[in-house]
Amino acid sequence: YTRAEVAQHRTPADRVWVTHGTEVFDVTDFVELHPGGPDKLLLAAGGALEPFWALYAVHSQPHVLELLREYKVGELSPEDAAAPPPGDTGDPFAGDPPRHPALRVNSLKPFNAEPPPELLTQSFLTPNELFFTRNHLPVPAVEPGSYRLRVEGPGGRSLSLSLAELRRRFPRHEVTATLQCAGNRRSEMSLVRPVKGLAWDIGAISTARWAGARLRDVLLHAGFGDRPPGDGEWHVCFEGLDEDASGTPYGASIPFERAVSAEAEVLLAYEMNGAELPRDHGFPVRVVVPGVVGARSVKWLRSVAVAPAESPSHWQQNDYKGFCPSVDWDSVDFRAAPAIQELPVQSAITEPRPGAAVPAGELTVKGYAWSGGGREVIRVDVSLDGGRTWRAAELGGERPQRGRGWAWALWELRAPVAAGARLDIVCKAVDRSYNVQPDTVGPIWNLRGVLSNAWHRVPVTVTR
């Protein structure tokens, strides 16, 4: 068989085919028997099993291969067993790394993709291969041996740190932190009125265990103190190695106080879930600002500078800000709103999926919840009747220290449901400051489609 032939078998109606190595299998009859659920098996339909099995160690057991062998229908043709040819060298994105096939791609160039909701809450830490990717520009190819991080010290002195120096000179610090794109759940805003931006579903959020040098330690080493170097507001500005066609790099900034705070735990990270950073996530060094919008966690970090103003970058000045619903592209004044730093309280339902038909009996509803600024989620309320009545869900995951709730809570609610019912499932979270999510999308609509954190709604029917 060719890979193209295999790719035509993606649904039970067309039969479900997958490959493993050079072998082809028809697993249609196994779909319903899959211990992880039929949905998850179908993510691999028409393609290779290996990227999925790599995520879940449970598959690397002899009986799984044995079980698979029962469904074998043939072999791939010899020429198709090889990798696809590399892209056109005139394309600035030609050097982008390979990606996991399960990712839902919102834009290919630059690459922007999110994990499918069914996989998002499978594990507290998101596997690196599934971590949502938000690139603004082509992925730079960095040779780790010649990488240098430039840090502008006070009085015009500057440091240049190699990767080895960054690892050796500063204590290694670990933080479990969730990153969320300001545009997560933007597609719900576009249903009210079209907005400008990538049509993210609920997956522009992921969690990892990050390790690196604390930005605080690097700033102190460069000669800064606990206080800003002058009066007024000071900022720490970052630039990436990713550049647009004119040579302008991606950039962003955070307030000096957060950068230098021991409690805020801002990292210059070189590890993600125990591995070196993947290329899509900033290899070899990125910023990780816990509790703050992802846009400030600059990837492929080239330079760090302290300044009396925010980063002049487009993405700091004229993007990633919220506005009143009445502001449109003719009337918007980007100076009138502050750059988003801490994000508001958020939650979403990952299972079941909108429009699903679920069996009568006990229904399990799953999702995530998170808030900015380290304000850990203290409660998630779930309604099956569109918000009339509510029950508190069970919160899973690690319980954080007060004020250091950098990571999401995964939650679950089990409830009996009657055959034939139509459910309007809704969730809303409460954070440590008792902030809650707004009921509806319309009144928080904004022209950039950011900060979409209204109650998440999932209509389902219960089969008879």
Catalytically active residues, by annotation: 34, 59, 134, 181, 320
Residue type, 50: E
The H or E element that residue 45 is part of is none
Quick check: 435 binds a copy of itself (CB under 8 A)?
Answer: yes
Quick check: 340 binds a copy of itself (CB under 8 A)?
Answer: yes
Footprint on residues 444-463 left by a copy of itself (CB under 8 A) = 444, 451
Quick check: 440 binds a copy of itself (CB under 8 A)?
Answer: yes
Quick check: 95 binds a copy of itself (CB under 8 A)?
Answer: no
Positive or negative CA dihedral for 269, 274, 279, 281? negative
CB of 378 or CB of 421, closer to a copy of itself = 378
Q: Return the residue of 345, 369, 425, 447 that touches a copy of itself, per CB under 8 A.
A: 345
Q: What does the per-residue mask of binding to a copy of itself show for 261-280, with x meaning CB under 8 A?
A: --x-----------------
The whole-angstrom separation of Cα 247 and Cα 346 is: 36
Least distance between a copy of itself and beta carbon 453 (Å):
8
Footprint on residues 319-338 left by a copy of itself (CB under 8 A) = 322, 324-327, 337-338
Residues touching a copy of itself, count (CB under 8 A): 48
CB of 248 or CB of 389, closer to a copy of itself = 389
CB of 60 or CB of 401, closer to a copy of itself = 401
The neighbouring-strand residues paired with 459 are 424
The whole-angstrom separation of Cα 434 and Cα 34 is: 40
Quick check: 183 binds a copy of itself (CB under 8 A)?
Answer: no
Least distance between a copy of itself and beta carbon 29 (Å):
43
Contact present, 393 and 381 (Cβ < 8 Å)? yes
Least distance between a copy of itself and beta carbon 345 (Å):
7
- 456 Cβ contact partners less than 8 Å away, ≥ 6 residues apart: 185, 202, 347, 348, 349, 367, 426, 427
The neighbouring-strand residues paired with 194 are none
Least distance between a copy of itself and beta carbon 182 (Å):
9
Least distance between a copy of itself and beta carbon 257 (Å):
7
- SS3 category, 401: coil
The whole-angstrom separation of Cα 122 and Cα 128 is: 13
Quick check: 348 binds a copy of itself (CB under 8 A)?
Answer: no
CB of 268 or CB of 413, closer to a copy of itself = 413
The whole-angstrom separation of Cα 136 and Cα 296 is: 13
The whole-angstrom separation of Cα 367 and Cα 206 is: 12
Least distance between a copy of itself and beta carbon 154 (Å):
21
Contact present, 243 and 237 (Cβ < 8 Å)? no
Quick check: 439 binds a copy of itself (CB under 8 A)?
Answer: yes
Which two tokens mark 62?
Answer: 């002899």
The whole-angstrom separation of Cα 258 and Cα 267 is: 11
Residue span binding a copy of itself (CB under 8 A) among the ranges 117-125, 194-202, 303-311, 430-438? 430-438
Quick check: 229 binds a copy of itself (CB under 8 A)?
Answer: no
Quick check: 209 binds a copy of itself (CB under 8 A)?
Answer: no
Footprint on residues 358-377 left by a copy of itself (CB under 8 A) = 372-373, 375
The whole-angstrom separation of Cα 158 and Cα 155 is: 9
The whole-angstrom separation of Cα 88 and Cα 95 is: 10
Residue 226 φ then ψ, to 5° = -70, -20
Check residue 286 and give left, alpha or beta (phi > 0: left; psi -120 to 50: alpha). Answer: beta
Least distance between a copy of itself and beta carbon 434 (Å):
5
Quick check: 342 binds a copy of itself (CB under 8 A)?
Answer: yes
- Identify the residue whose tokens are 């039929």: 38
DSSP conformational letter for 297: S
Which stretches of 112-213 are DSSP H helices? 117-120, 163-169, 186-192
Footprint on residues 368-427 left by a copy of itself (CB under 8 A) = 372-373, 375, 378-379, 381, 383, 387-392, 401-403
Quick check: 230 binds a copy of itself (CB under 8 A)?
Answer: no
User: Do β-strands 377-383 and 275-276 pair in parallel, antiparallel, or remain unpaired?
Assistant: unpaired
The footprint of a copy of itself (CB under 8 A) covers 233, 255, 257, 263, 322, 324-327, 337-338, 340-345, 372-373, 375, 378-379, 381, 383, 387-392, 401-403, 428, 430, 432-440, 442-444, 451
